[in-house]
Amino acid sequence: MIAAHSKITILIRVALLLVLSSFLFETPIPGNAFDSPQQGLTIVGHVNLNDGGDPLPDTQIYRGYATYGGGLVATTGQTGYYDSGFSYIPGDEMVTVWAEKAGYSLDPQQYYWRHYYGDEWRHLDFIARPLITDCPPPLPVPHRLCARLAGIESDGLTTSLYLWLGVDSNPWTVPATVTVTSEAGTVITDTTLVVLQSTAITIPLLMDTVHHITVYGQFEHTTGCHYTTRTNYDFLGNRLNLLVGNLPVMMYLPLITR
């Protein structure tokens, strides 16, 4: 009986030593409960001159989080392609991605969306336009963006954003590149904006999310010369915030709710 008890004691001590050594020397134990798939983000894409033009090498790609500052994550090669590689993100996070290159404006100005816990891969392209340094100021006045949010569509996953120009805009009809960002992602569209005549743009939504919507309008006021105006307020002065789902609303008023 004593011999059997001694053997059991020895086996227990050996097992404890093996477990302890695995932690000391960082040797994984088969079936470790901490083993899990990777959680994070990879972004790739292209940067080209104008629409479908030549690739633009040496463009710097930056990524920022809501809780961290932005940083350089990639640079385009000779084909205009970039790859950030995988970045670990431990949970949900708001992500902003933008591009920079001296002497060029990049469109869109940024991509912005909510990353959910898990492994995500995104393809984000940018269009570059050479800056003209001697552009005259836009006269007589810049175009003023006016916006109105519609209610949530029956599918619960989209809404319409109505845009038009203020009465002080000149001319009254103007082509524009409109970029809309929110927690659900970025929508870019080429359209024509008209004074006091709304144009509808469909934007995606996420469930159980407060969407903080920002609208950018890029206008060409002289050949090769552009300027951008932005707004995150509607025409009545309310924030362009939209709640989908059952989150508390007192922190986000005024909101459009389903």
The helix (run of H) or strand (run of E) holding residue 146 is: strand 145-152
Tens-place pLDDT, residues 84-142: 999 999 889 999 999 999 999 898 889 999 999 899 999 999 999 888 777 777 766 66
Question: 3-state DSSP helix/strand/coil percent for the chain, to nearest 5?
Answer: 10, 50, 40
Q: How confident is the model at residue 246 (pLDDT cuts 50, 70, 90)?
A: confident
Rounded to two decimals, the pTM is 0.66
| 65 and 125 fall within a common domain | yes
| 150 and 232 fall within a common domain | yes
CATH label of the domain that carries residue 209: 2.60.40
Domain that holds residue 98: 40-130
Number of domains into which the chain is organized: 2
| Mean pLDDT of all residues in 48-55 | 86
C-alpha neighbours within 13 Å on the C-beta side of residue 10: 6
> Residue 1 pLDDT > 60, yes or no?
no
Q: How confident is the model at residue 166 (pLDDT cuts 50, 70, 90)?
A: confident
Residue 223 corresponds to which tokens in the numbers above?
């050949």
Nearest to 58 by CA among 35, 43, 80: 80
> Residue 35 pLDDT > 50, yes or no?
no
In the 8-state DSSP scheme, what is residue 208?
T
| 237 and 159 fall within a common domain | yes
Cα–Cα dist 68/194, whole Å: 39
| 151 and 239 fall within a common domain | yes
Q: So what's the pLDDT on residue 3?
A: 54
Pick the range with the lowest mean pLDDT from 22-26, 111-115, 120-124, 231-235: 22-26
Please identify, among 62, 96, 130, the residue that sits at the C-terminal boundary of a domain. Answer: 130
| 125 and 150 fall within a common domain | no
